[in-house]
Structure 1
Amino acid sequence: MTLHRVALSTGLGLVLAVAAASSAAQERLPPAPHCMDTAGVTEVEQASPRSIAVRAASGQAYRIDFSEDCPGTRTAGRLALEAPGGFACGRPSERVTVDGHACTVSAVTPVDNRDFASVARNSDRLRVATLPAMTISQRRDVRRSFGGSPSFCFATRNVRAWSSDAGGILVETNPARNGGYRYYRVELGSACNALDRAPEVRFHSGLQNGLICGNPGDRMVSTPLDAGDERGRTIVPATPDRCQILAVYPEQRQASR
């Protein structure tokens, strides 16, 4: 049985490297449907010492659980996943190495984009919480990079359009500037009845960094109609409707263009 060792890229932009790969001529078939192909892992997030979330080259996200605490993946200088045959399934022979420290994998589970986005948000919050105390001016510099992954955030400047459907709010962005994602699902904390007929809406970042991630203070705000507009009497209130954003995640993955 061949043991494949794959270096993982993190949110800090570490270079992805494959130390051993199977023959390109052979079709790669997973041992079980839940197994993850370790070749081409693109993102790693951690919100718990005993688990991480990763995104495979296919775009599918997975949660990897450990049999013991394995912190530090976001700040590791060297992060590697070792799995027999190049597939991680949760077998005892699999492990993640964080700067030379080996952590045994106990389970591998496919997750959806919403779950991955939740882990990514908490991962960034955990990382910021561990930073040393700073002055107010320094803290503004930290906020500009907070929650910047295109997997679970979109920049307000890149919004092209939005619509509402049975699933909530769907936002269209520029995929070339949002990691290849064109559509994002936005879950709101209230009904926000005025949004459907509002003449204009805007997105407000709670961290004032231009990114909408579902962080505290992120809101979708409707622009009220002019006082003389007859529609304002029955459809749109005179004051803006501020709707709390609870979650943001890609609706589907498309190639950049």
Structure 2
Amino acid sequence: MRLSAAVFLATAVCAVTAAVASTRAPAPAAHCLDARAMGEVRQASERTLAVLQNDGRRFRVDLNEDCPAAGADAQASVLAREGWVCGTGNEYVRSGQRLCPVAAVAEIDAKDYAALALASHRRHGDVATLDTVEVRAEKRRGFGGSVSYCLNPRYMRGWNEDGKGLVVEVSPQRSGGHRYYRVELAHSCPELFDATTIELRSGMGINAVCGNPGDVVAVVPEMRAGEGIARSGGALSRISCPIASVYPVEK
């Protein structure tokens, strides 16, 4: 399996912090990132990292200077007192001989994390992470994204429209434990109100809908008595509504 820069960085961090003594002071503040518990790390820009902890908490880590090689360095690590990264100084991402100071740490929601993770994917291409469920899905018929910011339409069980877009139910066993995803649209799609059938389609030809260019919700409007059927090439006419973002939600 090809590992991404995100895997190298997170693996190196786990190896470094594992050697620290088991006795440990509590987190200095509620917003602090636990470097010992990082499950997924993505470099969204030269100064921005997105981190998903093993307990499901999500963080944005901003650096004081450009550190473009951090995500590609197999020996990269995080230096912080007792592994707590809070953005209060004396915290660094080390890449080779370079120390990149941490400027700020903030806990973020699933939507913001998805946006950063998608930006990382666009920067680095193929993505693999430490999440074992995701790795299995990636090997199965070309799943092309992370369960952190993508869903596989193959495992869709149901959907509803709530005025903000779509809430899609999927198989949790195939989606990293997530049961529901919010699918936000690029603009209003009133056709969803009368839809009897929808399809989620990837514009990149992969088995993942992530908010990439060309990702759409294909809608089949409800037929009413006396209305004709619009057909194109013998098939029912479908209306495509562009997808802006995808992220897991609690229902």
The TM-score, its normalising length taken from structure 1, stands at 0.77
Paired residue for 2:172? 175
Identity of aligned residues (%): 37
Counterpart Cα distance in 2 of 1:151 and 1:209: 16
Paired residue for 2:225? 230
CA deviation profile, 1:33-88 (whole Å, cap 9, x unmatched): 22112221011111211111111222111111111111134333133222112211
Structure 1 residue 147 displacement after superposition: 5.4
Instruction: Kindly indicate whether residue 18 of structure 2 is the aligned counterpart of residue 19 of structure 1.
Output: yes
Task: Confirm or deny: 8 A CA contact 1:214 1:248 kept in the other structure.
Answer: yes
Counterpart Cα distance in 1 of 2:220 and 2:227: 11
Structure 1 residue 167 displacement after superposition: 3.4
Counterpart Cα distance in 1 of 2:108 and 2:150: 18
CA deviation profile, 1:155-199 (whole Å, cap 9, x unmatched): 111111111124321111112111221111110122211213312
Counterpart Cα distance in 2 of 1:13 and 1:108: 17
SS of match in other structure, 1:212:
coil
Paired residue for 2:238? 240
Task: Give the counterpart letter for 1:230 in structure 2.
Answer: A
Paired residue for 2:208? 211
Paired residue for 2:36? 39
Task: Confirm or deny: 8 A CA contact 2:9 2:41 kept in the other structure.
Answer: no
Superposed, which structure 2 residues align to 1:1-257 within 5 Å? 10-11=6-7, 15=11, 16-17=14-15, 18-21=17-20, 23=22, 29-99=26-96, 101-128=98-125, 148-224=145-221, 230=225, 239-252=237-250
- Unpaired runs of 5+ in structure 2? 127-140, 229-235
Counterpart Cα distance in 2 of 1:12 and 1:240: 43
- Change in CA separation of 1:91 and 1:200 when aligned onto 2, cut-off 3 Å: same
Runs of 4 or more, structure 1, over 6 Å off, are none
- Change in CA separation of 1:99 and 1:173 when aligned onto 2, cut-off 3 Å: farther
- Change in CA separation of 1:101 and 1:174 when aligned onto 2, cut-off 3 Å: farther
144-153 vs 51-60, which deviates more?
Answer: 144-153
Give the RMSD, CA atoms, in angstroms.
2.9
Counterpart Cα distance in 1 of 2:78 and 2:35: 7
SS of match in other structure, 1:81:
strand
Counterpart Cα distance in 2 of 1:11 and 1:147: 16
Structure 1 residue 31 displacement after superposition: 0.8
48-57 vs 242-251, which deviates more?
Answer: 48-57
Counterpart Cα distance in 2 of 1:198 and 1:188: 15
The TM-score, its normalising length taken from structure 2, stands at 0.78
Task: Confirm or deny: 8 A CA contact 1:40 1:56 kept in the other structure.
Answer: yes
- Change in CA separation of 1:164 and 1:99 when aligned onto 2, cut-off 3 Å: farther
- Unpaired runs of 5+ in structure 1? 1-8, 130-143
